[in-house]
Amino acid sequence: MALDIKICGLKTDQAMAAALAGGASHVGFIFFAKSPRYVEPAEAGRLREAARGRALAVAVTVDATDAFLDGIVERMQPDMLQLHGSETPERVAELKARYGLPVMKALPLGEASDLDRMEPFIGIADRFLFDAKPPKGSELPGGNGVAFDWRILAGLDGGVDYMLSGGLNAANIGDALRLANPPGIDISSGVESAPGVKDPALIEQFFRAVRAARDDRAA
Ligand SMILES: O=C(O)c1ccccc1NCC(=O)[C@H](O)[C@H](O)COP(=O)(O)O
């Protein structure tokens, strides 16, 4: 089975080059002002050019207004929107219609019953991104480097298309793949040397770890 890999929170040409060289299927840009990964829409538009035809460019927003999203869509030309706030199913449907773009809805998970949150979005969101709940005191809804218990995904219906995210890194990706067998994975702080600073060597190391884990499972 193919595995989608999203490297999120890109801000530099070097990080983008490492993500593409490793074989990322998705590259993410953060449009949340409080994030150390925030990037201006026009700069994201410049960076995303390298990904055209190679990886899908994802605009990550949090309860964004139409006006803010209009600017992002115009300047960055994303292939996909990731909604990482408390957007309702109605809002997801509205934005899909407004921009004609697929939407990945992020949902925070802590325990198996949190998967019930997915139900109202089925048939509306194109994909889910399952992330850990932010730790107390964090101002960020995502990008906290915190993992949840991946075993709660193991019983999911095979028809649910999602990315597993939250606290992934080169050391734990093998366990995550083994326990949840996800169709996609997403990583941000696990390939950073400091908050918001992507490290091309860590990106390369992460892809190596993913390949090694998949080779082990195929053997
Ligand atoms: O990364 C951020 O700073 C961020 C801020 C606000 C909303 C979402 C954000 N990140 C979204 C992502 O898709 C991250 O890759 C995901 O939460 C996993 O992050 P990490 O645990 O650091 O790998």
Ligand 1 centre to CA of 144 (Å) is 6
Task: Determine the Cα–Cα distance for residues 153 and 114; give it in Å rounded to an integer.
Answer: 11
Tokens 């040397």: give the residue: 193
Q: How far is it, in rounded angstroms, from Cα 97 to Cα 179?
A: 36
The pLDDT of residue 159 is 87
Q: 127: Cβ below 6 Å to ligand 1?
A: no
Task: Give the separation between CA 193 and CA 82, rounded to whole angstroms.
Answer: 24
Residue 1 has pLDDT above 90, yes or no: no
| Residue 60 confidence (pLDDT) | 98
**Could you identify the atom of ligand 1 that is nearest to the CA of residue 9?**
1
Q: What is the pLDDT of residues 39-79, one digit of tens each?
A: 999 999 999 999 999 999 999 999 999 999 999 999 999 99
Which stretches within 165-199 are classed as H helix?
A: 173-180
pLDDT in tens, 182-218: 999 999 999 999 999 999 999 999 999 999 998 887 7
Give the position, in ligand 1's atom list, of the atom nearest the Cα of 192. 22
State the pLDDT at residue 33: 97
Measure the CA–CA gap between 26 and 211, rounded to whole angstroms.
17
DSSP class of residue 90 equals H
What residue owns the CA closest to ligand 1's atom 5? 142
What distance in angstroms lies between residue 143's CA and the mean position of ligand 1's atoms?
3
Distance 188 CA to ligand 1 centre (A): 6
Banded model confidence at residue 155, pLDDT cuts 50, 70, 90: confident
* Minimum-distance ligand 1 atom for the alpha carbon of 82: 13
